[in-house]
Amino acid sequence: MTRTKIITGGRRLRHKVPRYRPKKMKLSEIINKITPSLPPRVIHVQDPYYDQLLLGEKIVEARPYYPCFQDLKPGQLVEFRHRSSGSSFVVQITRKRIFRTFAVMLRKESIKSCLPHHDPDDLQRAVNTYRSIRNGTYKLFEKKYGVMALRFIRVEEENPKNDSLRWERIHYDKKSLCSILETIEQVRLERIFPLNRKK
């Protein structure tokens, strides 16, 4: 007897009887499912733009739309890192827009938001500033990939990298090397993935 020829009471059923009943899930349950947070994407910034971002004067970060940036989405965390000193801070993307050129991007996003220390009426000077970054490579990649503009909000880190950890509050066996190593690994994971911390 094949699977389709299921006979009950001498009569053949008109359709197959499923062997299992699929579990029904609401879309909201899938969306709100808690998943481990990934480390923020690192974007290197040079002077003087890093200080302008840090002080909140520059509220739009524009780059050529490289393939490595094409998976960035609103809500994702990004770490702006100073190119020479290594200091950094974390932001959350609120909006991402794609433009054909820097000129179109500056008209839509405004020069004051992108380059706060430039003349807001001198569009050509602002465009030349972007195209001269990285020894003129931005001009080449602008034609090839287009331009990306990110708006963001600052995210305060719960555990800064340079904070002083109070080991007297952490309970572990000081005579056991395994206990010490497990505690260090646990603290390290809590700093990298703060959402996974046990409450």
The predicted-structure confidence for 133-168, as pLDDT tens digits, reads as follows 888 889 899 999 999 999 999 887 554 444 444 555
Q: Name the one residue in this structure whose structure tokens are 């994407």.
A: 41
**pLDDT in the model for residue 189:** 62
Which one-letter amino acid corresponds to residue 199? K
CA geometry: angle 76, 37, 91, nearest 5 deg: 35
**pLDDT in the model for residue 13:** 55
**pLDDT in the model for residue 36:** 44
**pLDDT in the model for residue 27:** 58
> Which pairing describes strands 41-45 and 77-82: parallel, antiparallel, or unpaired?
parallel
187: exposed, middle or buried (C-beta count within 10 Å: 0-12, 13-18, 19+)? middle
**pLDDT in the model for residue 171:** 60
- The low-confidence residues of the chain, meaning pLDDT below 70, are 1-38, 157-181, 184-199
3-state class (DSSP) for residue 22: coil
The candidate with the shortest Cα–Cα distance to 80, out of 58, 96, 100, is 58
**pLDDT in the model for residue 135:** 86
**136, two tokens:** 């003129």
